[in-house]
Amino acid sequence: MTHPKLRIIQDDAILANFDTNMARHVAHTEKAVRDDMDAILFPELSLTGYNVQDAAQDIALHISDSAFDPLRELSRDITIICGGIELSDDYGVYNSALFFEDGHAKSAHRKIYLPTYGMFEELRYFSAGQRIEALTSRRLGRIGVAVCEDFWHMSVPYLLAHQGAKIMIALMSSPLRLTPGKGEPAIVRQWQTIMDTYALLFSTYAISVNRVGNEDSFTFWGRSTVTGPDGTRISSAPLFSKAEADTTLDLQRVKQARLHSSHFLDEDLRLFASELQELVRR
Protein backbone atom coordinates (compact mmCIF):
# COMPACT_ATOMS: atom_id res chain seq x y z
CA MET A 1 0.00 0.00 0.00
CA THR A 2 1.73 3.20 -1.18
CA HIS A 3 -0.79 5.74 0.16
CA PRO A 4 -1.90 4.61 3.65
CA LYS A 5 -4.39 6.81 5.47
CA LEU A 6 -3.50 7.39 9.11
CA ARG A 7 -5.47 8.84 11.98
CA ILE A 8 -3.65 10.19 15.03
CA ILE A 9 -5.71 10.24 18.22
CA GLN A 10 -4.47 13.02 20.47
CA ASP A 11 -6.50 12.19 23.56
CA ASP A 12 -6.51 12.11 27.33
CA ALA A 13 -6.50 8.89 29.40
CA ILE A 14 -8.11 7.90 32.69
CA LEU A 15 -5.36 6.93 35.12
CA ALA A 16 -5.27 3.18 35.92
CA ASN A 17 -8.70 2.58 34.36
CA PHE A 18 -8.10 0.06 31.61
CA ASP A 19 -11.78 -0.65 30.89
CA THR A 20 -12.74 2.99 30.28
CA ASN A 21 -9.64 3.62 28.20
CA MET A 22 -10.29 0.47 26.16
CA ALA A 23 -13.87 1.61 25.51
CA ARG A 24 -12.51 4.92 24.20
CA HIS A 25 -10.03 3.09 21.97
CA VAL A 26 -12.81 0.95 20.56
CA ALA A 27 -15.04 3.97 19.86
CA HIS A 28 -12.21 5.89 18.13
CA THR A 29 -11.23 2.82 16.13
CA GLU A 30 -14.77 1.99 15.01
CA LYS A 31 -15.14 5.57 13.79
CA ALA A 32 -11.81 5.34 11.94
CA VAL A 33 -12.99 2.15 10.24
CA ARG A 34 -16.18 3.90 9.14
CA ASP A 35 -14.03 6.74 7.81
CA ASP A 36 -11.97 4.27 5.75
CA MET A 37 -8.69 4.81 7.59
CA ASP A 38 -5.90 2.25 7.14
CA ALA A 39 -4.29 2.79 10.55
CA ILE A 40 -4.96 4.51 13.85
CA LEU A 41 -2.28 5.66 16.30
CA PHE A 42 -2.65 6.38 20.03
CA PRO A 43 -0.16 7.92 22.51
CA GLU A 44 2.17 6.29 25.04
CA LEU A 45 0.33 4.34 27.78
CA SER A 46 -2.98 5.28 26.18
CA LEU A 47 -4.70 2.23 27.69
CA THR A 48 -3.62 2.95 31.27
CA GLY A 49 -2.61 6.57 31.77
CA TYR A 50 0.95 7.61 32.49
CA ASN A 51 1.60 8.08 36.21
CA VAL A 52 0.51 4.61 37.32
CA GLN A 53 3.43 4.13 39.76
CA ASP A 54 2.99 0.97 41.90
CA ALA A 55 -0.24 0.05 40.12
CA ALA A 56 1.82 -0.90 37.05
CA GLN A 57 2.29 -4.47 38.29
CA ASP A 58 -1.41 -4.88 39.00
CA ILE A 59 -2.64 -3.71 35.59
CA ALA A 60 0.10 -5.20 33.40
CA LEU A 61 -1.29 -7.64 30.82
CA HIS A 62 0.33 -10.24 28.59
CA ILE A 63 -0.17 -9.47 24.92
CA SER A 64 -2.22 -12.68 24.56
CA ASP A 65 -4.68 -11.62 27.30
CA SER A 66 -8.34 -11.69 26.26
CA ALA A 67 -8.72 -8.09 27.48
CA PHE A 68 -7.15 -7.07 24.16
CA ASP A 69 -9.72 -9.03 22.11
CA PRO A 70 -11.75 -5.93 21.09
CA LEU A 71 -8.67 -4.41 19.42
CA ARG A 72 -7.63 -7.75 17.95
CA GLU A 73 -11.04 -8.07 16.31
CA LEU A 74 -11.10 -4.49 15.02
CA SER A 75 -7.62 -4.93 13.57
CA ARG A 76 -9.09 -7.14 10.85
CA ASP A 77 -10.23 -3.86 9.27
CA ILE A 78 -7.57 -1.37 10.45
CA THR A 79 -4.05 -1.41 11.88
CA ILE A 80 -3.91 -0.20 15.51
CA ILE A 81 -0.86 1.03 17.41
CA CYS A 82 -1.37 2.08 21.03
CA GLY A 83 0.38 2.22 24.38
CA GLY A 84 -0.05 -0.16 27.30
CA ILE A 85 1.63 -1.90 30.21
CA GLU A 86 2.84 -5.28 29.04
CA LEU A 87 3.58 -8.35 31.15
CA SER A 88 6.26 -10.50 29.51
CA ASP A 89 6.54 -14.29 29.60
CA ASP A 90 9.05 -13.99 32.46
CA TYR A 91 6.84 -11.43 34.29
CA GLY A 92 8.74 -8.29 33.44
CA VAL A 93 6.57 -5.15 33.41
CA TYR A 94 7.12 -2.94 30.37
CA ASN A 95 5.95 0.41 29.02
CA SER A 96 5.15 -0.90 25.55
CA ALA A 97 3.89 0.06 22.13
CA LEU A 98 1.29 -2.55 21.12
CA PHE A 99 0.54 -3.49 17.51
CA PHE A 100 -2.72 -5.02 16.27
CA GLU A 101 -3.25 -6.12 12.67
CA ASP A 102 -5.33 -8.76 10.86
CA GLY A 103 -6.68 -10.21 14.11
CA HIS A 104 -3.25 -10.61 15.70
CA ALA A 105 -1.45 -8.71 18.47
CA LYS A 106 2.21 -8.26 19.24
CA SER A 107 4.50 -6.08 21.28
CA ALA A 108 5.96 -3.63 18.78
CA HIS A 109 8.48 -2.08 21.19
CA ARG A 110 9.33 -2.06 24.88
CA LYS A 111 10.56 1.34 26.06
CA ILE A 112 14.31 1.21 26.55
CA TYR A 113 15.24 4.56 28.04
CA LEU A 114 13.15 5.01 31.18
CA PRO A 115 13.71 8.56 32.49
CA THR A 116 14.50 9.08 36.15
CA TYR A 117 15.44 12.77 36.09
CA GLY A 118 13.37 15.77 37.13
CA MET A 119 9.72 14.78 37.54
CA PHE A 120 10.23 11.30 36.07
CA GLU A 121 10.67 7.99 37.91
CA GLU A 122 9.78 5.33 35.34
CA LEU A 123 12.69 3.03 36.13
CA ARG A 124 11.17 2.41 39.57
CA TYR A 125 8.10 0.79 38.02
CA PHE A 126 9.12 -0.64 34.62
CA SER A 127 11.75 -2.95 33.23
CA ALA A 128 13.83 -1.55 30.38
CA GLY A 129 13.37 -2.99 26.90
CA GLN A 130 16.34 -4.68 25.27
CA ARG A 131 15.45 -4.68 21.56
CA ILE A 132 15.31 -2.15 18.74
CA GLU A 133 13.49 -3.82 15.88
CA ALA A 134 11.49 -2.53 12.91
CA LEU A 135 8.41 -4.51 11.86
CA THR A 136 6.44 -5.07 8.70
CA SER A 137 2.80 -4.05 8.48
CA ARG A 138 0.55 -5.22 5.66
CA ARG A 139 -1.08 -1.79 5.49
CA LEU A 140 1.86 0.50 6.33
CA GLY A 141 4.90 -1.38 5.04
CA ARG A 142 8.11 -1.35 7.05
CA ILE A 143 7.72 0.77 10.19
CA GLY A 144 9.70 1.62 13.31
CA VAL A 145 7.87 2.29 16.58
CA ALA A 146 9.42 3.59 19.80
CA VAL A 147 8.22 5.25 23.00
CA CYS A 148 8.89 8.88 23.95
CA GLU A 149 12.30 9.15 25.67
CA ASP A 150 13.70 6.56 23.24
CA PHE A 151 13.65 9.22 20.51
CA TRP A 152 16.01 11.39 22.57
CA HIS A 153 18.64 8.73 21.81
CA MET A 154 19.91 8.77 18.21
CA SER A 155 20.64 5.03 18.25
CA VAL A 156 16.93 4.14 18.26
CA PRO A 157 15.77 5.89 15.06
CA TYR A 158 19.17 5.20 13.46
CA LEU A 159 18.74 1.44 13.84
CA LEU A 160 15.06 1.49 12.91
CA ALA A 161 15.80 3.38 9.70
CA HIS A 162 18.66 1.06 8.76
CA GLN A 163 16.39 -1.92 9.39
CA GLY A 164 14.22 -0.59 6.58
CA ALA A 165 11.61 1.53 8.39
CA LYS A 166 10.14 4.14 6.04
CA ILE A 167 7.72 5.39 8.70
CA MET A 168 8.98 6.08 12.22
CA ILE A 169 6.45 6.58 14.99
CA ALA A 170 7.05 7.96 18.49
CA LEU A 171 4.27 7.30 21.01
CA MET A 172 4.53 10.00 23.67
CA SER A 173 3.22 11.19 27.01
CA SER A 174 5.35 14.31 27.17
CA PRO A 175 4.53 16.76 29.97
CA LEU A 176 5.34 20.43 30.18
CA ARG A 177 8.59 21.38 31.84
CA LEU A 178 8.73 24.89 33.23
CA THR A 179 11.42 26.93 31.48
CA PRO A 180 12.05 30.66 31.23
CA GLY A 181 10.74 32.60 28.24
CA LYS A 182 7.53 33.43 26.48
CA GLY A 183 5.60 31.87 23.63
CA GLU A 184 5.65 28.20 22.72
CA PRO A 185 7.11 26.03 25.50
CA ALA A 186 10.72 24.92 24.95
CA ILE A 187 9.85 21.22 25.15
CA VAL A 188 7.43 21.62 22.23
CA ARG A 189 10.10 23.25 20.05
CA GLN A 190 12.64 20.62 21.04
CA TRP A 191 10.39 17.72 20.09
CA GLN A 192 9.47 19.33 16.78
CA THR A 193 13.16 19.82 16.01
CA ILE A 194 13.91 16.19 16.87
CA MET A 195 11.18 14.77 14.64
CA ASP A 196 11.91 17.08 11.71
CA THR A 197 15.63 16.32 11.94
CA TYR A 198 15.17 12.54 12.01
CA ALA A 199 12.85 12.70 9.01
CA LEU A 200 15.43 14.71 7.07
CA LEU A 201 18.52 12.72 8.09
CA PHE A 202 16.97 9.29 7.55
CA SER A 203 14.72 10.26 4.61
CA THR A 204 11.68 8.74 6.32
CA TYR A 205 8.31 9.87 7.59
CA ALA A 206 8.54 10.80 11.29
CA ILE A 207 5.32 10.86 13.31
CA SER A 208 4.86 11.93 16.92
CA VAL A 209 1.68 10.98 18.79
CA ASN A 210 1.46 12.90 22.06
CA ARG A 211 -1.36 12.94 24.60
CA VAL A 212 -3.17 15.81 26.30
CA GLY A 213 -4.81 16.24 29.70
CA ASN A 214 -3.64 16.31 33.31
CA GLU A 215 -2.52 13.73 35.86
CA ASP A 216 -1.47 14.89 39.31
CA SER A 217 1.30 17.43 38.59
CA PHE A 218 1.68 16.41 34.93
CA THR A 219 0.21 18.52 32.10
CA PHE A 220 0.50 16.93 28.67
CA TRP A 221 0.73 19.27 25.71
CA GLY A 222 -0.25 17.38 22.56
CA ARG A 223 0.94 18.96 19.29
CA SER A 224 1.30 15.62 17.50
CA THR A 225 3.12 16.02 14.18
CA VAL A 226 3.79 14.36 10.85
CA THR A 227 7.00 15.25 9.00
CA GLY A 228 7.80 14.14 5.46
CA PRO A 229 11.05 12.48 4.33
CA ASP A 230 12.46 15.81 3.11
CA GLY A 231 12.12 17.28 6.61
CA THR A 232 9.04 19.35 5.78
CA ARG A 233 6.28 19.40 8.40
CA ILE A 234 3.06 18.06 6.90
CA SER A 235 0.69 18.49 9.82
CA SER A 236 0.55 19.57 13.46
CA ALA A 237 -2.25 18.97 15.94
CA PRO A 238 -3.12 21.76 18.40
CA LEU A 239 -1.54 22.36 21.79
CA PHE A 240 -3.45 21.11 24.86
CA SER A 241 -6.60 20.08 22.92
CA LYS A 242 -8.00 16.69 22.03
CA ALA A 243 -7.84 16.11 18.28
CA GLU A 244 -8.18 13.62 15.46
CA ALA A 245 -5.47 14.30 12.88
CA ASP A 246 -5.74 12.53 9.52
CA THR A 247 -2.88 12.22 7.04
CA THR A 248 -2.44 10.30 3.82
CA LEU A 249 1.19 9.27 3.39
CA ASP A 250 2.82 8.92 -0.01
CA LEU A 251 5.61 6.38 0.38
CA GLN A 252 6.95 7.37 -3.04
CA ARG A 253 8.21 10.51 -1.26
CA VAL A 254 10.75 8.34 0.56
CA LYS A 255 12.04 7.12 -2.80
CA GLN A 256 12.15 10.67 -4.16
CA ALA A 257 13.99 12.00 -1.09
CA ARG A 258 16.65 9.30 -1.29
CA LEU A 259 17.15 9.74 -5.02
CA HIS A 260 17.44 13.50 -4.56
CA SER A 261 20.01 13.20 -1.75
CA SER A 262 21.76 9.90 -0.96
CA HIS A 263 23.20 10.87 2.44
CA PHE A 264 21.17 8.13 4.17
CA LEU A 265 22.08 5.47 1.60
CA ASP A 266 25.76 6.45 1.78
CA GLU A 267 25.99 5.72 5.51
CA ASP A 268 28.95 3.38 6.15
CA LEU A 269 27.50 0.87 8.59
CA ARG A 270 30.66 -1.27 8.70
CA LEU A 271 32.80 1.72 9.66
CA PHE A 272 30.26 2.82 12.26
CA ALA A 273 30.07 -0.68 13.77
CA SER A 274 33.86 -0.95 13.88
CA GLU A 275 34.31 2.41 15.59
CA LEU A 276 31.48 1.65 18.01
CA GLN A 277 33.11 -1.64 18.98
CA GLU A 278 36.34 0.25 19.62
CA LEU A 279 34.49 2.68 21.92
CA VAL A 280 32.88 -0.18 23.83
CA ARG A 281 36.26 -1.87 24.35
CA ARG A 282 37.85 1.23 25.93
**Over 90: is that where the pLDDT of 182 sits?**
no
Confidence category of residue 180, pLDDT binned at 50, 70, 90: low
CB 10 within 8 A of CB 245: yes
* Reported pTM: 0.97
CA 128/CA 133 separation, integer angstroms: 15
CA 9/CA 243 separation, integer angstroms: 6
CA 52/CA 193 separation, integer angstroms: 29
CA terminus-to-terminus distance, the chain: 46
Confidence category of residue 230, pLDDT binned at 50, 70, 90: very high
State the CB neighbour count (10 A cutoff) for residue 262.
11
Range 5-281: architecture per CATH: 4-Layer Sandwich (3.60)
Nearest alpha-carbon partner for 110 in 122, 89, 124, 93 = 93
- Cα→Cα distances 251→1, 70, 151, 221, 264, Å: 9, 30, 22, 29, 16
Question: Of the given ranges (21-30, 135-144, 162-171, 175-184), which has the lowest mean pLDDT?
Answer: 175-184
pLDDT given at position 179: 62
